[in-house]
Homo-oligomer: A and B are copies of this chain.
């Protein structure tokens, strides 16, 4: 009898709806006003129900972060199938990261917030799965490549964070003549050149 499976499915759905509700509220009013009560209201349940699915609020947020990294990674993988030239691929991956950030600003914020230490080391590890790619590009040994990847991630995230924090467009003192995205591309471009053989 399939009752049991359908029930399972419904439960999964509810869980997703909770996560989506949280993201929706965050998008509309910021993370500060994401409350269990509001989430409950959004999914048309009472607050205690949320605790059937998540140990507590922090647990809920962690799950959102985890989902975020999963999504981002799967977009990376997709591109990897398509573009075979390492240098061009790296540029495309960088742009995917950029796009993801600004299409999901709130999500990106908790994913990379300093107030939230890394719980999902697996996600972090996935970033380094592109080791071979960089090795091909630079001709360096494994250890050095690790550092270069790390550098790449820092550069990408640092730049995106800076733009996001300034709530584009940036104030006048910081006026950069190009579009933010072009500035970003310029940085990545210089970086890739500085590491290429």
Count copies of this chain in the complex. 2
Interface hits, A149-184 → B, CB 8 Å = 150-151, 153-159, 161-162, 164-167, 171, 173-178, 183
Q: Report the separation of the CA atoms of residues A155 and B194 in the bound assembly, to the nearest whole angstrom.
A: 14
Q: Report the separation of the CA atoms of residues A147 and B184 in the bound assembly, to the nearest whole angstrom.
A: 10
Q: Report the separation of the CA atoms of residues A162 and B111 in the bound assembly, to the nearest whole angstrom.
A: 12
Stretch at the interface among A82-90, A92-100, A115-123: A115-123
Contact of A112 with B by CB under 8 A = yes
Contact of A124 with B by CB under 8 A = yes
Q: Which residues of B contact A161 (CB under 8 A)?
A: 112, 114, 154, 157-158, 161
Contact of A7 with B by CB under 8 A = no
Shortest beta-carbon distance from A146 to chain B in Å: 6
Contact of A53 with B by CB under 8 A = no
Task: Using CB atoms, name the residue of chain B closest to A128.
Answer: B173
Contact of A125 with B by CB under 8 A = yes
Task: Using CB atoms, name the residue of chain B closest to A122.
Answer: B173
Task: Using CB atoms, name the residue of chain B closest to A116.
Answer: B165
Q: Which residues of B contact A175 (CB under 8 A)?
A: 146
Contacting pair A147 B178 (CB below 8 A): yes
Q: Report the separation of the CA atoms of residues A187 and B191 in the bound assembly, to the nearest whole angstrom.
A: 10
Q: Which residues of B contact A195 (CB under 8 A)?
A: 190
